Amino acid sequence: MINSIPDTTIHKDLRINSYGHYLRRRFGCRVSKVNVDAGFTCPNRDGSKGTGGCIYCNNVSFSPRGTLSEIGLEEQLTTGMAYHRHRLGSQKFIVYFQKYTNTYAAVEQLEELYSRALALPDVLGISVGTRPDCLTDEALDLLTRIAKERYVCLELGLQSADDAILKRINRGHSLGDFLNAVQRATGRGFDICGHLIHGFPGEQPAEFLKSADLLNSLPGISSVKLHQLHAVEGTELAAMYRRGEFIPLTLEQYVATAADFLERLAPRISVQRLYGSSPLEIRVAPQWGLKNNQMWYAVLNELKRRDSRQGARYEE
């Protein structure tokens, strides 16, 4: 049944509660996230959980050019902020610790890195991407202290709510780990974002859509990142594609399921991302031939075509 109750969080033109819109409401200006590589690694690569990483993971595909750990943190940020000021007119910034697992270090190292980022002018806060099984009490307490004075978003990579899929993709953690991490992080004064990927081998759209219901059921979840599964060079997924073991979604399939997902997603949850991208030189499949903004609007235009919006089929 269509939910026709209006919600002021939903942007009337975009038809979703976009994260950019949320930040503008909260801070009163244009805010951009600036990605940095702080030199972290991952327990699924260094042997403590596994080796080789997830079957789709080549972090070059996730990170903008100019964000390399060999470049100093402050230089990465200065360059990134200048880019967003020029391109988007951004006035304030959130530093996104993105590459690999950004709580996977001693708390003293975390505090030093986070503090350096927060010390730069016009930085409102930090966004920390990590695995749900790499969140110590000490790291949570550190983020809690920072959140008393600055903006903090904890980004937790779930990727799939199906334990069988998590095992097949060599993820190295379970749905239970994610639920435990969200429970421990909830109520600490910072935002929590859940990451999801659609299109894993053997995954059916109906099963994926249950992920929206899962996020809706978790009061601590405030935002979501969603993107299609894509294969890039240097990954097991690329090898699977070449062996005919991975058939990517078509653009039409992904757009339809993403729109279905948004219709089920609670209006209170802001949407940070609706697509994934990777550099052309390492992209293997799918090759949809769309730029980032075209991918974003492909999904939003599907909602418009349906005369629908985020939360249209959400039931409390």
User: Which pLDDT score is estimated for 57?
Assistant: 86
pLDDT at 17 over 80: yes
pLDDT at position 58, please?
83
| Nearby residues of 205 by Cβ (< 8 Å), 6 or more positions away | 198, 253, 256, 257, 260
What distance in Å separates the CA atoms of residue 272 and residue 133, rounded to the nearest whole number?
A: 22
pLDDT classification of 174: cutoffs 50, 70, 90: very high
Count Cβ neighbours within 10 Å for each residue of 104-121 and write b for 16 or more, e otherwise. Answer: bbeeeebbebbebbbeee
- What is residue 59's predicted lDDT score, i.e. its pLDDT? 57
pLDDT in the model for residue 205: 95
User: Tokens representing 46?
Assistant: 């260094």
Rounded CA-CA distance 51/58 in Å is 13
Average pLDDT of every residue of the chain: 92
Mean pLDDT throughout 211-240? 96
User: Two tokens at 54?
Assistant: 């997830």
Lowest mean pLDDT among 142-146, 223-227, 279-283, 298-302: 279-283
Coil vs helix vs strand at 183: helix
- Contact between 98 and 131 under an 8 Å Cβ cutoff? The reply is no
Q: How far apart are CA 29 and CA 295, in angstroms?
A: 25
Is residue 63 pLDDT above 90, yes or no? no
**Tokens at 206, concatenated:** 């109906």
Q: Which residue ranges form the domains of the chain, and what is each CATH number? A: 19-306 (3.20.20.70)
Phi and psi angles of residue 258, each rounded to the nearest 5 degrees, phi first: -60, -40
Q: Would you say residue 5 has pLDDT above 50?
A: no
Confidence of residue 20 (pLDDT cuts 50, 70, 90): very high
Phi, psi angles (nearest 5°) of residue 35: -75, 140
pLDDT of residue 69: 58
Q: Does the structure show a pLDDT above 90 at 6? A: no
pLDDT of residue 47: 75
With 70 as the cut, is the pLDDT of residue 4 above it? Answer: no
Contact 197, 237 (CB under 8 A): no
